[in-house]
Structure 1
Amino acid sequence: MHRSTAVHLDSMLDDLRKLVEIESPSRDLAALRTSAEAVAAVIESRLGGRAVLLEGGAGPHVHWSGGGDPRVLVLGHHDTVFPLGTLARRPFRVANGRATGPGVFDMLGGLVQAVHGLAALDDTSGVEILVTADEEVGSGSSRALIEERARACGAVLVFEGAAEGGALKTGRKGCGTFELSVRGQAAHAGLEPEAGVNALVEAAHQVLDIAALSRPEVGTTVTPTMASAGIADNVVPAEATVTVDVRVETAEEKERIESAFASLRPHLRGVGLVVRGTVGRPPMQQSASQPLFRLARRLQPGLAGTAVGGGSDGNFTAALGVPTLDGLGAVGGGAHADHEYVVVDAMVPRARLVTGLVNAIRDEPAPTGVPDAGARG
């Protein structure tokens, strides 16, 4: 297929509109199938070849290869956090230098930039694209596939939205979710509260213990985020649940936190505790991004890099020891929020960065092997 080496903003915005106007909330299998088919169609129309839908338990993933020995994995996701119907309230628009709409920044804008940047290559040999269906819900059905293709390619470019000011994401915290279930004993709150075992009171003790696990001085945050208990205002609650968000910068802190949750013990007699969860995304150390970040800085000398608290599928690939550079997607902001937006004028330069990075990676000597860092969560 003959491709133009120019990058055209109007064509990029047309493709972005196509993807945004097909809603793709995580876990909605029918919507995700339609979304995957649309992503595949955009890839095929711009790059030729065939984009294959790979079935997963959380929806179809999209895989495309430019042929030849694999050298570069372009990684993204097509699921979004917004429920069906969001588009009717917040349709795709381009105005005042911004493109807006559900999922435009996280991360459909990045996907479009990646595809158009690849389309500007003289040839796409050695390039693979993997667009997964479940990143927003932990990548349970796609992690093995991501790791397999990352190992095979040896370099990973992740098209999550850029950090503030367009900076690339050179490090990420490991992140996970824990759920604590508390089982007590119901009783009448007025007649004989002493006959019950109050799961809510126990949960309150546990929340304080859990919050004390934070060590912000080393980048560890442990944040109780949701809680529920009780069935009526005159009943001693027999059950309670607490959900906790965890972020860590090192493998050592990951192990400490997981051990601490496993060691939680009741404060009240007669209480049962069940803990579920793990730090499922290992930390993305900045060392994993440096070889690729240096290449990016050669292409755009003023480009900044920064470590961020959020996780992505780049955490998995970096933990394998595969060079990984994240935040190559859209410049904008408001991820997961109603004001989500993409800076239109930044789209073409970011696509050109893709073109230059892929060429630079392919010009580098091929690695003899990919080490396994062993930090797999």
Structure 2
Amino acid sequence: MTTERLNHFRALTDPMLQDIRILVETESPSADLRAVAHSADKVLSLGERVLGVEGERIVIDGCTHLRWRLGEGERRVLILGHHDTVWPHGTLAKHPYAQDGGILRGPGNFDMKVGVVMSFYAVASLDPGSSVTILITGDEEIGSHTSRHLIESAASECAAVFVLEASADGGALKIGRKGMSGYRVSVSGRAAHAGLEPEKGINAAVEMSHQVLRIAALASELQGTSVVPTVLSAGTTTNTVPATADISVDVRTWTQEEQDRVDIGMRSLTAVLPGAVLSIAGGVNRPPMEETMSSSLFESASAVALNLGLGELGGARVGGGSDGNFTAGLGIPTLDGLGAVGGGAHADNEHSVVAEIPRRTALVAGLIKHTLLPVAETNDEPITSAIGR
């Protein structure tokens, strides 16, 4: 009963909004481990209440992540999200939680506390014994350095991964994400007096100028590969030949082949000026989430959406990365952007469309069930819920 499933979540809109408010009003800037731990307390309590199952708190290098492992079937799916945000303490005072004209506002609502709440309610509606792992991490916004192993370990036993990050424009699902690499290139030269004897120096700024042009040339408009020199520094005083220079480089690629090509290019840089010394640090942070990893799941999601009366789904490729990049990089089918519909991620106008919350939750629940039991998925299945058990 597809109408029943949708009505089930529409009836839960107010409780879901109450839970979203709890999370939005719990500030959780990624770099503040105490704030992230406090946020984890709220998420853990909420998840246990909605699911009726105890969650597991996992602390790695002081960062708190949460995991629920339900069911023991042979076919398992992973629901992936994060509870940290980019917003510093005090943002809530300037941009408080609010609802106006069907729009929900507040720091971190779109990215991605709405998606966290959706994940619990979607899984709670499944048949008892459904094999689902929910992993909510605490450091996604700063690179997932402590959670990456958890993510990859959980995904390795799953047939599919659903990422409840916010949607792309217009509610489109994210079917492709660029891979991300970051580098820091340093030049060591030799200082000298810029007026009296500049010829005795090795100008690190001049050397870096050569390198900047070489670095930028690694980009490929045809392949959609961006290689962007960003933060640049050199020298100490206006009358001294710079002895050192540093630059940061941001790389985004649609394919693993391009990511590997740029990595080789970056590590092959050599000095131009005699005596100058280069060092290159950094490398790949997230592999690309290529469309081949999402295509089958997107087809399934589109079929579920039509059965629910949600209309045709859009799909979009986006330049930003998520933890779905890691799971897709392992070769595990991954579909992203299943969370909130709205906009303004990382911006003052961050918002979610309230009416879309039950619709997207119904989509996620139907997609999980379809993936776990593709043959048994019918239009007249009953809706069950663990809420209140």
Q: TM-score normalised to the size of structure 1?
A: 0.91
The answer as to whether partners of 2:177 and 2:320 remain within 8 angstroms in 1 is: yes
* AA matched with 2:53: G
| Residue 169 in structure 1 maps to residue 198 in structure 2 | no
CA apart distance, 1:5 = 4.8
Give the equivalent residue in structure 2 for 1:369: none
> Quick one: distance in 2 between partners of 1:326 and 1:224?
28
| 1:219-230 paired onto structure 2 within 5 Å | 219-230=224-235
* AA matched with 2:80: L
CA apart distance, 1:269 = 2.2
| 1:193 aligns with one of 181, 184, 198 | 198
| 1:202-217 paired onto structure 2 within 5 Å | 202-217=207-222
The answer as to whether partners of 2:9 and 2:359 remain within 8 angstroms in 1 is: no
CA apart distance, 1:365 = 7.0
Give the equivalent residue in structure 1 for 2:331: 321
Give the equivalent residue in structure 2 for 1:354: 364
| 1:148 aligns with one of 123, 130, 153 | 153
| 1:260 aligns with one of 255, 262, 265 | 265
* AA matched with 1:129: I
Aligned identity (percent) is 51
CA apart distance, 1:58 = 5.6
Q: TM-score normalised to the size of structure 2?
A: 0.89
Give the equivalent residue in structure 2 for 1:31: 35
Q: Deviations over 1:12-44 (max 9, x none)?
A: 221111111122122321111111111111111
SS of 1:347's partner is helix
> Quick one: distance in 2 between partners of 1:192 and 1:83?
48
| 1:14-53 paired onto structure 2 within 5 Å | 14-53=18-57
| 1:306 aligns with one of 316, 328, 331 | 316
> Quick one: distance in 1 between partners of 2:170 and 2:295?
19
| 2:105 aligns with one of 90, 100, 104 | 100
CA apart distance, 1:205 = 1.8
> Quick one: distance in 1 between partners of 2:9 and 2:348?
33
> Quick one: distance in 1 between partners of 2:104 and 2:236?
45
Q: 1:183 to 1:153 in 2, by over 3 A?
A: same
> Quick one: distance in 2 between partners of 1:6 and 1:265?
59
> Quick one: distance in 1 between partners of 2:98 and 2:209?
46
> Quick one: distance in 1 between partners of 2:122 and 2:63?
26
Give the equivalent residue in structure 1 for 2:250: 245
Give the equivalent residue in structure 2 for 1:337: 347
CA apart distance, 1:272 = 1.6
Q: 1:138 to 1:154 in 2, by over 3 A?
A: same
Q: Which runs of 5+ in 2 are unaligned?
A: 1-6, 307-311, 377-389
> Quick one: distance in 2 between partners of 1:58 and 1:84?
19
Larger deviation, residues 10-19 vs 155-164: 10-19
* AA matched with 1:270: G
Q: 1:190 to 1:13 in 2, by over 3 A?
A: farther
* AA matched with 1:63: R
The answer as to whether partners of 1:222 and 1:247 remain within 8 angstroms in 2 is: yes
Larger deviation, residues 42-51 vs 97-106: 97-106
CA apart distance, 1:62 = 0.4
> Quick one: distance in 1 between partners of 2:350 and 2:19?
18
Q: 1:113 to 1:124 in 2, by over 3 A?
A: farther
| 1:363 aligns with one of 373, 376, 386 | 373
Q: Deviations over 1:239-275 (max 9, x none)?
A: 2211111011222211111111111111222222111
Larger deviation, residues 306-315 vs 187-196: 187-196
Q: Deviations over 1:42-100 (max 9, x none)?
A: 11111111111111126011001223226111001112112222222222222232212
> Quick one: distance in 2 between partners of 1:196 and 1:304?
58
> Quick one: distance in 2 between partners of 1:319 and 1:293?
17
| 1:283-294 paired onto structure 2 within 5 Å | 283-294=288-299
Aligned residues: 363
CA apart distance, 1:289 = 1.0
> Quick one: distance in 2 between partners of 1:279 and 1:264?
17
Instruction: Say what the alpha-carbon RMSD is for the aligned residues.
Output: 1.9
> Quick one: distance in 1 between partners of 2:175 and 2:237?
49
> Quick one: distance in 2 between partners of 1:204 and 1:290?
43
> Quick one: distance in 2 between partners of 1:124 and 1:165?
34
SS of 1:350's partner is helix
SS of 1:152's partner is coil
Larger deviation, residues 211-220 vs 113-122: 113-122
